[in-house]
Amino acid sequence: MLPSPSPSLSLPVSLSHLLLITPSIIIHFCVWARRANMDSLGLFILLMLQCFQWTAAHAAEDITWTYKGMVGQTEWSEYFLDCGGTSQSPVDVVTTQTKYDPSLIPLTPLGYDQHGNSPFTLYNNGHTAVIDLPEWMGIGGLPWFFTAVQLHLHWGSGGPSHGGSEHTINGQSADAELHVVHYNSELYPNMSTAMTKRDGLAVLGILIVTGEETNPAFNNVLNYLSRIRHADQKAYIPAFDIKSLLPSDLGRYYRYNGSLTTPPCYQSVIWSVFHERVQISKAQLLRMETLLYSSKSEEPDRMLLQDNYRATQPLNHRVVFASFSAESGRELSSGEVTAIVIGVMCGCVGLAVIVRFIVKTIRIKEPEKAKEIKQDTALNSTAAGEKKEEPSLSLQTDP
Ligand X SMILES: *[C@@H]1O[C@H](CO)[C@@H](O)[C@H](O)[C@H]1NC(C)=O
Catalytic amino acids?
Answer: 127
Figure out which of the listed residues 192, 316, 325, 381 binds ligand X, where binding follows CB under 6 A.
192
Total residues in contact with ligand X, by rule CB under 6 A: 9
Contact 279, 211 (CB under 8 A): yes
User: Least Å distance between CB 273 and ligand X?
Assistant: 12
| 23 vs 189, beta carbon nearer ligand X | 189
Figure out which of the listed residues 193, 361, 375, 380 binds ligand X, where binding follows CB under 6 A.
193
The amino acid that residue 97 corresponds to is: Q
| 100 vs 321, beta carbon nearer ligand X | 321
Region of 190-198, 291-299, 325-333, 336-344 interacting with ligand X (CB under 6 A): 190-198
Region of 4-12, 129-137, 160-168, 185-193 interacting with ligand X (CB under 6 A): 185-193
User: Least Å distance between CB 270 and ligand X?
Assistant: 7
Which residues between 245 and 274 bind ligand X (CB under 6 A)? 255-257
Contact 209, 279 (CB under 8 A): yes
- What are the residues whose beta carbons fall under 8 Å from the beta carbon of 313, sequence distance 6 or more? 1, 2, 88, 89, 90, 91, 258, 259
Angle, CA of 54, 264 and 260, to the nearest 5°: 155
- What are the residues whose beta carbons fall under 8 Å from the beta carbon of 307, sequence distance 6 or more? 67, 68, 155, 156, 157, 164
User: Least Å distance between CB 130 and ligand X?
Assistant: 16
User: Least Å distance between CB 291 and ligand X?
Assistant: 31
State the CB neighbour count (10 A cutoff) for residue 129. Answer: 23
3-state DSSP of 227-292: HHCCECCEEEECCCCHHHHCCCCCCCEEEEEECCCCCCCCCCEEEEEECCCEEEEHHHHHHHHHCC
| 231 vs 322, beta carbon nearer ligand X | 322
Our finding on whether 97 is near ligand X (CB under 6 A) is no
| 142 vs 207, beta carbon nearer ligand X | 142
Provide the residue count of the chain: 399
Identify which of 8, 123, 17 has the alpha carbon closest to the alpha carbon of residue 60.
17
Site string for ligand X, 352-381 (x = CB under 6 A): ------------------------------
Q: Greatest CA separation found in the chain?
A: 173
Contact 171, 147 (CB under 8 A): no
| 99 vs 360, beta carbon nearer ligand X | 99
| 91 vs 291, beta carbon nearer ligand X | 91
Site string for ligand X, 106-145 (x = CB under 6 A): ----------------------------------------
Q: Which residues of 309-342 are buried (b: 16+ CB within 10 A; e: fewer)?
A: bbbbbebeeeebbbbbebeeeeeeeeeeeeeeee
User: Least Å distance between CB 255 and ligand X?
Assistant: 5
User: Least Å distance between CB 321 and ligand X?
Assistant: 5
| CA–CA dist 280, 275 (Å, integer) | 16
Site string for ligand X, 143-182 (x = CB under 6 A): ----------------------------------------
Q: Give the strands of the sheet with 168-169, arranged side by side.
A: 92-93, 168-169, 172-173
Which class for 78: exposed (0-12), middle (13-18), buried (19 or more C-beta within 10 A)? Answer: buried
| 125 vs 257, beta carbon nearer ligand X | 257
Which residues between 304 and 343 bind ligand X (CB under 6 A)? 319, 321
Figure out which of the listed residues 7, 171, 189, 300 binds ligand X, where binding follows CB under 6 A.
189
Bridge-based pairing of strands 269-274 and 176-184 is: unpaired
User: Least Å distance between CB 249 and ligand X?
Assistant: 20
Question: Which residues form the interface with ligand X (CB under 6 A)?
Answer: 189-190, 192-193, 255-257, 319, 321
